[in-house]
Amino acid sequence: MVEDGKYAPWPIGGPLAPGTHQAHARREGGSAGLSMSGGEFLDLLFAPRGTGSWRFRRDERVTLPLARAILPARLPSGRTLKYLSPETVLLFKSRSSQSGSEFGPRAKDAADFARVMPSLDAEARAWLMAALRTVHGEHPWLGELAGGAR
pLDDT tens for 80-125 read: 988 899 999 999 999 865 554 456 788 999 999 999 999 999 999 9
Assign 4 a pLDDT band (cuts: 50, 70, 90).
confident
The pLDDT score that the predictor gives to residue 96 is 63
What is the crossing angle of helices 86-93 and 107-116, to 10°? 160
Per DSSP bridges, beta strands 49-50 and 53-55 are antiparallel
The pLDDT score that the predictor gives to residue 59 is 92
Assign 126 a pLDDT band (cuts: 50, 70, 90).
very high
d(CA 95, CA 135): 9
Using one digit for the tens of pLDDT, what is the confidence trace for 14-56?
887 777 777 777 776 544 444 445 567 777 777 767 789 999 9
The pLDDT score that the predictor gives to residue 38 is 52
Using one digit for the tens of pLDDT, what is the confidence trace for 130-139?
999 999 999 9
The pLDDT score that the predictor gives to residue 35 is 41
d(CA 20, CA 145): 31
Instruction: Please give the helix or strand (H or E) that residue 133 lies within, else none.
Output: helix 122-136
Q: Which residue would you say has higher pLDDT here, 146 or 51?
A: 146
The pLDDT score that the predictor gives to residue 33 is 45
DSSP E strands: which ranges in 60-123? 63-65, 70-74, 80-84, 97-99, 102-104
